[in-house]
């Protein structure tokens, strides 16, 4: 089995590469990444010696390079992690998010259809559903929840999902989509909440918190996410969307204080700032479909894996 992993040098892509090499050592993993600020070739250093691993530097928007990659490697599956993913950056410069997340996905889908790829898996996000009210903890996103993206980032991911489903219906391409809650773990870029909090706390720098910090997120350990993706690409039904959740909801401010406590760092490092434009209030995933059809998918204890993550960054 040959799997093309796009965005392989980014946070989740890197973890997925290592997971697949460990779990399916006979599979050939072809890593593809443009190596932007968020993708580092150093992340894949330990994979380089593996006999079934290869790396290609390329942009998913580059039709010529993508076509050459498909023609020469003939992948059986594509798992598309490649994306611009930081909400703040999307608010400042929406166009690059549309170019990469929408047009780049279309380039990959077209190549997959032309070259007869057995399965195209699109990595999406729970942010395509918009947000939920803080006062309704009973509400969770299901696969049939309406798409109500709040930011240019989440809108671009929703568009990519719809494109993938259109390729399934119109061209018969075998497509699956997974929408996951917030990930944490090794290799995450320091602009994200958990690594930024760890890094700033270790350096004695202030930790910026939007608004009052009461916004709630559902968190999943990145390797649990990889395990769920593995289940979807092998056993998921074509044309279906699967939610992947960690079933651990916590407010941003409580999470930051939890990290500071683990590091024995003072809470006066916290600095409240003006709230993000269009800031989503709460995310919560209902992963019943995944667990019933493809599970059970084990979920790691949050506190335990958060401590491991802190030690990795330390």
d(CA 108, CA 66): 7
For the chain, give the percent of residues with pLDDT over 70. Answer: 100
> What are the tens digits of pLDDT across the range 277-300?
888 899 999 999 999 999 899 999
Q: Which of 149, 158, 150 shows the shortest CA–CA distance to 102?
A: 158
Residue 90 has a pLDDT of 81
Exactly one of 18, 32, 129, 153 is catalytic; which is it? 153
Mean pLDDT of 240-244: 98
pLDDT at 261 over 90: yes
Residue 26 has a pLDDT of 97
pLDDT at 85 over 80: no
pLDDT at 76 over 90: yes
Residue 82 has a pLDDT of 96
Mean pLDDT of 73-93: 90
Predicted model pTM = 0.96
pLDDT at 249 over 80: yes
| Cβ neighbours, 10 Å, residue 309 | 21
Query: For residue 84, what pLDDT band results from cuts at 50, 70 and 90?
Result: confident
Residue that is written with structure tokens 């195209």 in the block: 120
pLDDT at 91 over 90: no
pLDDT at 147 over 90: yes
Question: 241 in helix, strand or coil?
Answer: strand
Question: 160 in helix, strand or coil?
Answer: helix
268 classed as catalytic: no
CA distance to 197, 257, 314, per residue, from 203 (Å): 10, 16, 10
More confident residue, 37 or 293: 293
Mean pLDDT of 248-255: 97
127 classed as catalytic: yes
pLDDT at 116 over 80: yes
Exactly one of 33, 106, 126, 287 is catalytic; which is it? 126
240 classed as catalytic: no
> What are the tens digits of pLDDT across the range 153-175?
999 999 999 999 999 999 999 99
Tokens found for residue 231: 């289940």
Exactly one of 59, 106, 127, 224 is catalytic; which is it? 127
């Amino acid at each position: 089995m040959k799997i093309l992993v796009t965005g392989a040098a980014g946070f989740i892509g890197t973890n997925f590469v290592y997971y697949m090499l460990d779990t399916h050592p006979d599979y050939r993993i072809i890593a593809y990444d443009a190596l932007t600020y968020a993708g580092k070739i150093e992340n894949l250093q330990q994979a380089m010696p593996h006999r079934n691993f290869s790396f290609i530097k390329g942009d998913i928007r580059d039709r010529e390079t993508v076509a050459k990659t498909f023609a020469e490697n003939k992948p059986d599956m594509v798992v598309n992690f490649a994306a611009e993913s930081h909400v703040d950056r999307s608010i400042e410069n929406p166009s690059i998010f549309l170019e990469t997340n929408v047009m780049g996905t279309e380039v990959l889908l077209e190549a997959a259809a032309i070259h007869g790829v057995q399965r195209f898996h699109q990595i999406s996000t729970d942010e395509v559903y918009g947000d939920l009210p803080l006062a309704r903890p009973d509400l969770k996103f299901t696969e049939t929840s309406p798409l109500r993206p709040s930011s240019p980032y989440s809108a671009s991911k929703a568009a990519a999902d719809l494109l993938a489903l259109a390729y399934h219906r119109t061209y018969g391409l075998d497509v699956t989509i997974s929408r996951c809650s917030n990930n944490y773990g090794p290799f995450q870029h320091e602009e994200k909440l958990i690594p930024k909090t760890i890094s700033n706390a270790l350096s004695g720098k202030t930790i910026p918190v939007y608004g009052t910090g009461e916004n709630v997120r559902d968190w999943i350990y990145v390797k649990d996410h990889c395990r769920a993706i593995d289940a979807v690409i092998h056993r998921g039904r074509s044309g279906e969307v699967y939610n992947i959740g960690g079933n651990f909801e916590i407010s941003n401010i409580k999470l930051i204080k939890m990290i500071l406590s683990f590091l024995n760092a003072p809470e006066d490092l916290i600095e409240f700032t003006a709230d993000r434009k269009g800031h989503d209030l709460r995310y919560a995933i209902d992963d019943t479909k995944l667990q019933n059809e493809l599970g059970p998918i084990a979920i790691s204890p949050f506190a335990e894996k958060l401590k491991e993550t802190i030690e990795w960054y330390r």
